[in-house]
């Protein structure tokens, strides 16, 4: 009898998970579609805006370092966009999410749902923008006589997952804290700007002085950006960089959920 009751209870829990999972997926789909619709409302260029910003930065850095400063690097334009496109995904997700709960205060007050889905959808739509920008990288590869390799079939999904959990963990923590400490929004924008210059995006990691080489992995974005660039430029994946990036991602995800659970019950008081 006890065994049958245990199986019955387990079966009910498993059955109840299906409609709940379907509800969560539908909610994520609806919120993502809403955010994309708002972002591109009355916009004629649409998709082009998702690649315009990193391409503009690539153009500026190319003129500054390749044309003016005469940096000796073959395929510098491809080098730039291979780092700028994944960076743009991270920067957009982290700088937008501080106000995601404030911007959706009316929904939070009227509808009972898991609030952590809101920053999730922000990171998800920025990931979709990044995926849609990969053909631009491929175009530049053909210009410089490079071709994608079979390792992309493994490397791109793995790096997408790692960057997603890293960006989502950071976004969840920042968006939760920002409800109680509104200055965090400006501090986040400043921090992302500083992090950009400390990350080897427009310069190779080999240019960092030898005595500081061991410090580059303390920047959580460095092994991730290097991994993306090695994949796009050389069809290579470094296991050490992947492990370090995954470790950072899991740590940030854990911290993000811990902060969210500590503060979520107070959201209604401050919205």
Going from N- to C-terminal start, the domains of the chain cover: 1-42, 46-270
pLDDT at residue number 5: 45
Within 8 A by CB and 6+ apart from 185, the residues are 98, 99, 178
* pLDDT beyond 90 at 88: yes
* More confident: 105 or 11: 105
User: Which tens digits make up the pLDDT trace of 165-179?
Assistant: 999 999 999 999 998
Give the least confident one: 79-88, 181-190, 253-262.
181-190
**Range 192-201, long-range pairs (CB < 8 A, 24+ positions):** 192/91, 192/94, 192/95, 195/219, 195/221, 196/87, 196/91, 199/83, 199/87, 199/225, 200/83, 200/225, 200/226, 201/80, 201/83, 201/84, 201/87, 201/225
- Is residue 17 pLDDT above 80, yes or no? no
Percent of the chain with pLDDT strictly greater than 70? 80
- Please give, one letter per residue, the 3-state secondary structure of the chain: CHHHHHHHHHHHHHHHHHHHHHHHHHHHHHHHHHHHHHHCCCCCCCCHHHHHHHHHHHHHHHHHHHHHCCCCCCCHHHHHHHHHHHHHHHHHHHHHHHHHHHHCHHHHHHCCCCCCHHHHHHHHHHHHHHHHHHHHHHHHHHHCCCCCCCCHHHHHHHHHHHHHHHHHHHHHHHHHHHCCCCCHHHHHHHHHHHHHHHCCCCCCHHHCCHHHHHHHHHCCHHHHHHHHHHHHHHCCCCHHHHHHHHHHHHHHHHHHHHHHHHHHHHHHHHC
What are 36-62's pLDDT values in tens digits?
565 655 555 556 766 888 888 888 999
pLDDT 10s digits, 108-163: 777 777 788 889 988 998 998 899 889 999 999 999 989 999 999 999 999 999 99
């Amino acid at each position: 009898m006890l065994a049958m009751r245990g199986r019955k209870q387990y079966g009910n829990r498993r059955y109840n998970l299906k409609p709940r999972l379907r509800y969560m997926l539908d909610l994520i789909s609806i919120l993502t579609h809403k955010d994309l619709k708002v972002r591109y409302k009355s916009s004629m260029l649409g998709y082009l805006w998702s690649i315009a910003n990193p391409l503009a930065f690539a153009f500026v850095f190319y003129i500054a370092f390749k044309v003016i400063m005469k940096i000796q690097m073959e395929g510098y334009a491809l080098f730039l966009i291979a780092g700028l496109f994944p960076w743009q995904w991270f920067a957009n997700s982290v700088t937008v999410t501080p106000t995601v709960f404030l911007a959706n205060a009316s929904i939070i007050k009227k509808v009972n749902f898991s609030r952590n889905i809101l920053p999730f959808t922000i990171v998800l739509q920025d990931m979709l923008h990044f995926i849609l920008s990969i053909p631009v990288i491929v175009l530049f590869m053909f210009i410089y006589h490079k071709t994608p390799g079979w390792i992309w079939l493994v490397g791109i999904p793995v790096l997408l997952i790692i960057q997603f959990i890293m960006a989502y963990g950071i976004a969840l923590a920042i968006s939760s804290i920002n409800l109680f400490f509104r200055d965090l929004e400006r501090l986040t924008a400043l921090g992302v700007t500083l992090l950009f210059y400390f990350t080897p995006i427009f310069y190779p990691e080999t240019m960092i002085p030898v005595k500081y080489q061991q410090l580059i992995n303390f920047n959580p974005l460095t092994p991730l950006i290097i991994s993306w660039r090695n994949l796009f430029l050389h069809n290579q994946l470094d296991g050490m960089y992947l492990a370090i990036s995954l470790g950072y991602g899991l740590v940030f995800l854990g911290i993000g959920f811990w902060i969210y659970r500590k503060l979520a019950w107070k959201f209604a008081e401050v919205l």
